[in-house]
Structure 1
Amino acid sequence: MKYNSVFDIIGPVMIGPSSSHTAGAARIGKAARNLFGKEPQWARIHLYESFAKTYKGHGTDFALAGGLLGFETDDTRMSQALELAEKKGLEIEFIEDSAKADHPNTARLIIGDGSDQLELVGISIGGGKVEITELNGFELRLSGNHPAILIMHNDRFGAIASVTEILAKYEINIGHMEVNRKDVGKEALMVIEVDQNVKDSILKELENASHIIQIAKIAN
């Protein structure tokens, strides 16, 4: 196995007890919050395999709550996240799901408020690293370790070009990109991991590009 830095070996700076079950879970929760674009009012969290069996003892429950509240992995409030969520009126339900999952540390988060809802599947792959594998029914592969832009767009000629031309204009380098659609000519999802955080002014320009429906970002 290749390590890029010492932090890949010792894991992230974090509130314990486990990098996989705590730090990774927190990052899944925060990714859901970032993609939702605001703090949700409620969350239904399905836990699978190892997550389902050990989530209370390993702190997966409070870590997911902390991520939904926007906490970083080393936030000293992490262990009190469930109580803080309750005080804020964020209702969280944990469901021990018996269905099989591709990875033992898998969580499906369904979050929302009075008007919007988001569904996300994330896995904690070890050392605090995560992958987002599904968003609102679209399959994807998002590491969560780099800034990213997620763009919902109409499956039309020129949609991808209109986005990449804007990113090139501002010298934003693309590290990973994929496009997924549910059917020809319907809605599609563009996932772009970049090397630096993208300014809100650039996101606004992207929103006005051809065939774009909605944009969300994950900052780093």
Structure 2
Amino acid sequence: MKYRTVFDIIGPVMIGPSSSHTAGAARIGRVARTLFARQPDVVDITFYGSFAQTHKGHGTDIAIVGGILDFDTFDRRIVDSLAIAKDLGVDVNFHVSQDEADHPNTARIKLRDKEGFQLEVVGISIGGGKIEMTEINGFPLKLSGNAPTLLVLHEDRYGMISGVSNALAKYKINIGAMEMARREKGSEALMVIETDQPIPERLVEEITSMPYVLSVSVLMP
């Protein structure tokens, strides 16, 4: 593995003790919160592999809840995140799975609110505070969260990719990486686009108004 900077080895500024088990977990939780775009009322967290075995001792539980509360990796409130969540009325439930996962540091997060809105994501902590989101609401993907990212949920229709790509070109936004996933032919599809420039709100509004687009989310690093 090649490292670009020393921070790829020692990890980000963070509440310890482990870049993989705390900083990475906090980032997974924070990505889930960003995609959910609101404070959840019910949180279910399932740990797999190494996370399942050491989540309490390494602070993975408090870190991932801190991320769900929108705390950054260095936010000292992470230490008290379970108590803060309780005070906010957020019902947090932890589960440990014996099922094998593709990566030892894997967590599945389910978020729900009182209005019935739900989100389910799977994330892995790959070391040095870096993460990959590998699933969103059943759609497989690889999302690092290291670049501005546009997520477009839409009906599986022809012309959707070109429509979104043309909108990005209109705002002079370059596509760094792009991934598509769909449940089945003609059903819902998810477009995940990492860009080299920030994604303006007016572009989000324009894509949201396109025919067959169901929802649009933006993830900023």
1:162–1:210 CA contact under 8 A, matched in 2: no
2:51–2:107 CA contact under 8 A, matched in 1: yes
**Counterpart-to-counterpart distance in 1, 2:214 and 2:5:** 38
For the residue of structure 2 that corresponds to 1:77, the secondary structure is helix
Structure 1 residues 72-124: Cα deviation after superposition (integer angstroms, max 9, x where no partner): 11112111111111110111101011111111000000111012011100000
1:50 corresponding residue in structure 2: 50
2:16 corresponding residue in structure 1: 16
Q: How many residues align?
A: 220
Further displaced range: 143-152 or 25-34:
143-152
Gaps of 5+ in 1: none
Shift of 1:173: 1.4
Percent of matched pairs sharing the same residue: 54
2:29–2:65 CA contact under 8 A, matched in 1: yes
**Counterpart-to-counterpart distance in 2, 1:91 and 1:78:** 17
2:40 corresponding residue in structure 1: 40
Gaps of 5+ in 2: none
**Counterpart-to-counterpart distance in 1, 2:23 and 2:81:** 13
Shift of 1:208: 1.1
**Counterpart-to-counterpart distance in 2, 1:155 and 1:127:** 37
Task: Give the letter aligned to residue 166 of structure 1.
Answer: A
**Counterpart-to-counterpart distance in 2, 1:9 and 1:49:** 22
Structure 1 residues 157-183: Cα deviation after superposition (integer angstroms, max 9, x where no partner): 111111111111111111111111111
Task: Give the letter aligned to residue 109 of structure 2.
Answer: L
1:182 corresponding residue in structure 2: 183
TM (norm. structure 2) is 0.97
For the residue of structure 2 that corresponds to 1:162, the secondary structure is helix
Shift of 1:9: 2.0
1:207 corresponding residue in structure 2: 208
**Counterpart-to-counterpart distance in 2, 1:193 and 1:41:** 30
Shift of 1:206: 0.9
Task: Give the letter aligned to residue 44 of structure 2.
Answer: R
1:141 corresponding residue in structure 2: 142
Structure 1 residues 115-155: Cα deviation after superposition (integer angstroms, max 9, x where no partner): 20111000000000000001111101101222211110111
